Structure 1
């Protein structure tokens, strides 16, 4: 074993960073044996140096992240500060000054991964980011390496623990969205500002990364169709249950049937209770990968949290350090297919539409005519009059598969009918 340690700079020492530092210290001998050389924490960049950080030598703490990555003796930079800047500049500077990078920064990778990969390649460095997608779940490496000889056609999964916890509580306890969000916040699953999670931004960034790796093309977060869960109601959950379904926020990345384009989308959807994703509870994640030769693979586990995310970071650290010792680099960006990303309107899917309609003869025929005019076939219809004097009824329509643009046009045409008092909810149906 080589005696000179590989030096590691840690950018960020919050929940994830502090756990990375702890494991590097407590498992130092095991890590050295697995890598073939000891690893040494050479510096920790933080914003608040006065904060007590148990187990970390105060002499390692600095507020000057720029100087730390420019030291020249740093072998690997671990970036867990998040956000676009200064993370992007720090990572680029690390490459320029001889360090490879392990990152958990999904937002930056989804927005500017191409430029970062190019910078890593230019300077002969590694860029690893297993922790950016699904916490402890090994997903990036299987897509980049284990399935490199196969053709991946679809990636479907739950990639945000906060929203899965909220939807699970709404399903199992009958709670409304606000009540379930409050519980998620109290338990530490939701941030004080949960927007990134509940509006789908977090899942969309992960979908962009997964689509790019799976289909060997470049997908930016702005090309991912995104809808959050804030409009999901207890009535939607109950309606799904009557259909034998549950509601999940799904990230879906697909290669078109003709192989000439890809799509990436994040939105709530009803899935059958018989589907394995339906049983993913609380804050867990699960992802299906459908490949031509391997068939259907499922990856399941905790998708967030200090220890699970640190596990993924340290797995990357071991791989990058091994590469460093061997004078090699791991796989970089693979974007040779250059497939365009199709808009959501071209996605073929199904809709569950709940309408408030006038409770009188002929309404169903009018509604059916609108669907027919848009070329959308109806699968099932359920109508129920209300036990009050409102003169209204509830009409639930589930469609067959059709282009999303045709389904959207159908909904807009329904809104214009005099007999339709309101469109109570719209949700896609997946996983069948």
Structure 2
């Protein structure tokens, strides 16, 4: 049988794992697809850095590779915006289906990419772009297509989850836990994309777009990282039966009983306290997990390896099998839909809850004055307690849900009060009743 030929763009950690698995599992893949799969070429920047790849497969001319007449499918694992975007557009124009792991590109320009794929009548699959080996995007796009999703909440960055897990387990500070993550290979030499939330924000945009049938880009996502989380924050969380996680939260927000009219989409990434009873609280180390709430299906959770060469390559090959089958059938698979076109709700208007620690003067009337400031901004207090006395007095307050702008304004006002020596900690709270 004539083989299906694959152009591989990139041969780093993920690309090399894809190449190896294509070779090792060649017979099984051929049986599952109905035709053998053959690598037509591997595009890299520096061929001399890949001595394990047959020299006849290596090329530095990626565009020529993806537009070759004998190439059927393109696998893109180079990452970044350019030249990946140009190469994918060239592949679509040449009638090639694409499998990508490029979360940044899909979060930045997914609408245009999907439109180009649809115009060409080919596939764009990208399971590996979010949560590594975890089957997540296809269930959102296909298995739950008959349901209405209300909320998708997840731990989608293994580096930050490892750091926060170690802080909880050992009492270490952020810098110490980051150093350990770097030494073990969980964090890059430049961890900015992970610890400042850029990686998770791109994934949140993709999840929200699929879940709510609404185009969402990374620029629409409110983003905060974990570099300001302290050992004290983590200890405070434990005191109220919580743990701290960096969460990607995608919500369809509306008025109860309105039939969906006026609903908006709220998408945010930030550290938050969650109860230890919540399924996401037990996700430790570099693992990922995503919690989905649907109107008919109820609560679902997806858990597994969220990064790494082999887990990500597993997702790439799963997509490759799907698009190869579609290619042989002469049709494209289901794409995304943006029919809902919901507005993206700004963070300021999004309802959230805060956990606030205040270093205060220990004298009569302090609690009443602090409570009055909350009332001034329309924020209701759920619980309050005082730890210590005298110069060591600390007020710990957990609010009810309120617009984030009102909570932020309350914190700003507290910082200006004479009786408040310092606002020592502010973290959002998720999942408390």
TM range, normalised to the smaller chain? over 0.9
In structure 1, distance between residues paired with 2:292 and 2:388: 43
Alpha-carbon shift at residue 386 of structure 1 (Å): 5.4
CA contact (8 A) 1:114 1:333 kept: no
Out of 93, 116, 121, the position equivalent to 1:119 is 116
Q: Equivalent residue of 1:310, what SS?
A: helix
Q: Which residue of 2 aligns with 1:28?
A: 26
Q: Equivalent residue of 1:134, what SS?
A: coil
Q: Which residue of 2 aligns with 1:108?
A: 105
Compare 376-385 and 172-181 and name the one that shifted more: 376-385
Out of 298, 313, 323, the position equivalent to 1:295 is 298
Q: Equivalent residue of 2:299, what SS?
A: strand
CA contact (8 A) 1:74 1:98 kept: no
Deviant stretches of 4+, over 4 Å: none
Q: Which residue of 1 aligns with 2:85?
A: 88
Out of 229, 233, 244, the position equivalent to 1:232 is 229
In structure 1, distance between residues paired with 2:29 and 2:170: 44
Alpha-carbon shift at residue 365 of structure 1 (Å): 1.2
Q: Which residue of 2 aligns with 1:211?
A: 208
When the two structures are aligned, how many residues end up with a matched partner?
426
Alpha-carbon shift at residue 392 of structure 1 (Å): 4.8
Deviations 1:264-308 (A, max 9, x none): 000000000111111001000000111111110000001000000
Deviations 1:170-216 (A, max 9, x none): 00011110010011111111000000000000000000000000000
Compare 357-366 and 82-91 and name the one that shifted more: 357-366
Out of 28, 49, 52, the position equivalent to 1:51 is 49
In structure 2, distance between residues paired with 1:229 and 1:361: 36
Alpha-carbon shift at residue 360 of structure 1 (Å): 2.0
Q: Equivalent residue of 1:316, what SS?
A: helix
Q: Does 1:139 align with 2:136?
A: yes
In structure 1, distance between residues paired with 2:358 and 2:70: 65
Unaligned runs of 5+ in 2: none
Deviations 1:308-364 (A, max 9, x none): 000000000000000000001011220000100000112112100011112222211
Q: Equivalent residue of 1:50, what SS?
A: helix
Q: Equivalent residue of 2:418, what SS?
A: coil
CA contact (8 A) 1:8 1:74 kept: yes
Q: Does 1:384 align with 2:387?
A: yes
Structure 1 residues 30-429: aligned runs within 5 Å: 30-54=28-52, 56-258=53-255, 259=260, 260-385=263-388, 391-429=391-429
CA contact (8 A) 1:110 1:206 kept: yes
In structure 2, distance between residues paired with 1:381 and 1:310: 49
In structure 2, distance between residues paired with 1:364 and 1:52: 65
In structure 2, distance between residues paired with 1:251 and 1:14: 27
Q: Which residue of 2 aligns with 1:12?
A: 10
Q: Equivalent residue of 1:428, what SS?
A: strand
Q: Which residue of 2 aligns with 1:430?
A: 430
Alpha-carbon shift at residue 52 of structure 1 (Å): 3.5
Q: Equivalent residue of 1:313, what SS?
A: helix
In structure 1, distance between residues paired with 2:69 and 2:421: 68
CA contact (8 A) 1:72 1:98 kept: no
Q: Equivalent residue of 2:395, what SS?
A: strand
Deviations 1:49-100 (A, max 9, x none): 112343x322101111111112122111100000000000000001111211
Q: Equivalent residue of 1:330, what SS?
A: coil
TM-score normalised according to structure 2 size: 0.97
Q: Equivalent residue of 1:345, what SS?
A: helix
Alpha-carbon shift at residue 257 of structure 1 (Å): 2.6
In structure 2, distance between residues paired with 1:379 and 1:96: 57
Unaligned runs of 5+ in 1: none
Alpha-carbon shift at residue 425 of structure 1 (Å): 1.3
In structure 1, distance between residues paired with 2:389 and 2:163: 29
TM-score normalised according to structure 1 size: 0.97
In structure 1, distance between residues paired with 2:272 and 2:76: 34
